[in-house]
Structure 1
Amino acid sequence: MHLLNTKFVTLFLVFTLFGLSNKGKHPLHVSTTEVNFNSKDKTLEISSRIFSDDFEAILGKLYKQKTDLANPALKTQMDALVRKYMLSHLQVKANGKPVSLNYIGFEIDHEATNIYMEAEKISSLKSAEVSSTILYDMFDDQMSIVHLVKGATRKSSKILYPDKSFSANF
C-alpha cells in the first residue's frame, strides 16, 4: 500500500508541476502518453503531452527549420514535423505485435502540446507496450509517464532516461 501511495504522490507532483504556468525554463523534463483501448471502435487512442518550448526546440534542432507550433500560418508545416517526430519516437505494441500509428494532429494547451494518434483494427487487448524516446535526444533527465487504459483498468508507470518502455497485461 505504501508503494501505491508513493506512486500516487509522485504522479500528483509531476502533473501539478506540469500544469504550472512559468514564463522561464521549467525544472522538469517530462512527457505523458496515454494509450486507451476503445473496445467499441476497436482502436487504441493515443495522446501525448509535451512542454511546447522543449518540443519546438527539438523539432528545430532535428529538422533544421524554424518552429512555432502556435502559429496558425505554419500549421501544415508543423503538422508534418510533429508527425515525423512522433512516429519515430513512439512505438506501441498490442498483444505483443507492433501496431501502425495514424497521426491525427496536435493542439496547444497553455505551455504544453497535445499530440493525438490512433491504431485501428485492435479487436481485443490482452497486453500493451509503449516504447518512448520522446525528447531523449535533448535531455538526459527526461521522464516519460505512461498510462495504459482498458475499460476501468488503468496501469501507469514512469520511464526514466535511458529506459524506454513500459508494458502491462490486462
Structure 2
Amino acid sequence: MSAIYSKLLLVVLWLATPVHPLHVSTTEINFNSKGKSLEISCRIFTDDFENILAKTFKTKTDLMKPEMHKEMDALVKKYLAANLKYQLNGKPVTANYLGFEIDHEATNVYLEIENVSSLQRLSLTNSIMYDLFDDQMNILHVEKMGIRKSARTEYPSTSLSVTFN
C-alpha cells in the first residue's frame, strides 16, 4: 500500500508544481539616433528558456551557473539567431549578439543592429518558444525619439511590424 501512496503523492506534488499561467516573451527595441543603432533586449522566463535550449540543442542547460556561462552564451546566440529575424525599412538586417543576464525569474538577452541611419518600418519574425508552447505570445515594443509603438503575436503567427512617420 505504501508504494501506491508514494506514487499518488508524487502525482499530487507534480500537479501542484507552479507553472507560468502565461507564456510570453517581450522584445524591446530602442532606436539610438546618435549611435545609429537599434538596441534590442529580449525578456524570457528563465526556466522556459532553459527548457527550449535543452530541447533544441539536446544538451544540459543552466543559465544561472557562472561556470556554464560561456557554453550558454553560444546556445542563446544560436537560438535567437534562428528565432528572431529583422527587416529594417524593407531590407533584411542581422543583429549582433551582446550577451545575456538573469534578472530574477527572467533572462534578458541583449542584441544590437548597427549602422541604422533611419527607422521608418521595422518588421520582425519572432518564433521564440514556439517549439515548446502552443499558447506562446510574443510582444514587441519599439521606441524612436520618445514615440513608442507596440505589436503582439500569438502562436502560430510570427510576424510583427511597426511603422514610424
Alpha-carbon shift at residue 134 of structure 1 (Å): 0.1
Matched AA of 2:63:
L
Query: 2 CA distance for matches of 1:147 and 1:130?
Result: 11
Where structure 1 has 5 or more consecutive residues not aligned to the other structure, the ranges are 1-22
Query: 2 CA distance for matches of 1:122 and 1:157?
Result: 21
Matched AA of 2:128:
I
Paired residues, what number? Answer: 148
Matched AA of 1:108:
I
Alignment of 1:74-153 (within 5 A): 74-153=68-147
Q: Root-mean-square deviation (CA), in Å?
A: 1.0
Q: Give the TM-score of the pair, scaled to structure 1.
A: 0.85
Where structure 2 has 5 or more consecutive residues not aligned to the other structure, the ranges are 1-16
Q: Does 1:169 align with 2:163?
A: yes
Alpha-carbon shift at residue 110 of structure 1 (Å): 0.5
Q: Give the TM-score of the pair, scaled to structure 2.
A: 0.87
Q: Which has the larger Rg? A: 2
Q: Does 1:154 align with 2:151?
A: no
Q: Which runs of 4+ in 1 moved over 2 A?
A: none
Task: Provide Cα deviations, 1:32-71, integer angstroms capped at 9, x if missing partner.
Answer: 0011110000001111000000000000011111100000
Query: 2 CA distance for matches of 1:91 and 1:29?
Result: 20
Query: 2 CA distance for matches of 1:108 and 1:152?
Result: 27
Aligned with 1:57 (options 51, 57, 76):
51
